[in-house]
Amino acid sequence: MTGHTTRGSRRAALAPCLVVISVLGSAAAKAAEDPCPPHLFTLARSKNANIVAYDANRGPAGDFDVSEPVIVYWLLDGDKDKREELNAIERQRAYGVDVKPGETPGTYAMVFRASRQLLLTIQVQKGCPVTSAQIGGREGILRKIFVQSKEGSLQPKVEYVELFGEDVATGGPLYEKFVPGK
C-alpha cells in the first residue's frame, strides 16, 4: 500500500505543524490581549548593550501590587529572553527605585536611588501602566532613558542623561538632555 496513508499516520505527520500553529496562535492571542508596551520604560547606557527594564507589577485584576508596584531587572545584551536580576549594590545605589503611594489614588510616586532629581509618577492611562514625568518642560510619558558615562577608576562618572517620551497632550515625541548636578 505505497502512497496510501492511514488516518493515524496523517495525524502523526500533522502533529508538529499543529504544535507550531498552536504556539504562534497563543503568542498572537497574548499580544492581542495586552496592547500595552512590555515595559514602563527602559534605561540604556553607553557602557554596553545591557538594558535595565522597569516594569509595572500588576495583579490579576490589573491593579498595581502594593507591596512592589515596580520591578527592575537587566535585559542582557538588550535581549528580552536574557533576563537577570539586579544585584544588591545595583538595587541600592545605581538602578534601584523608591516607590510610594502617590497623592492621587491609584498612582505611585517614584524616584531613582542614585539621583532623586527626576520625579516620576506611575499610573494607568488608557488601560496601560505608564510612567509620567516632566520631559523638556512638558508632561510626558517616559519611554527610555539613556545614560552617557565615562568609566573611571572607582566608579563611572555620568556625563549626561537623555530622556525620551511622548507628550501626554499631543502624543508627539519629547526629549530632554541634562547633566546631573547642574
Q: In which region does residue 171 sit, left (phi positive, over 0), alpha (psi from -120 to 50) or beta (all else)? A: left
The string of pLDDT tens digits covering residues 19-50 is 433 434 444 444 456 689 999 999 999 999 99
Assess whether pLDDT exceeds 80 at residue 53.
yes
Tell me the pLDDT of the chain averaged across its residues.
85
Q: Which pLDDT score is estimated for 138?
A: 97
- pLDDT surpassing 80 at residue 8: no
The pLDDT of residue 18 is 39
State what percent of residues in the chain have pLDDT above 70.
Answer: 80
- Write down the pLDDT at residue 107: 95
DSSP helix/strand/coil, 30: helix
| Burial class for 54, CB neighbours closer than 10 Å (0-12, 13-18, 19+) | buried
Residue 112 has pLDDT above 80, yes or no: yes
pLDDT at residue 14 greater than cutoff 80: no
Q: pTM to 2 decimals?
A: 0.79
Q: What are residue 30's DSSP bridge partners?
A: none
**Residue 151, pLDDT score:** 83
> How many other C-beta atoms can be found within 10 angstroms of the C-beta atom of residue 121?
17
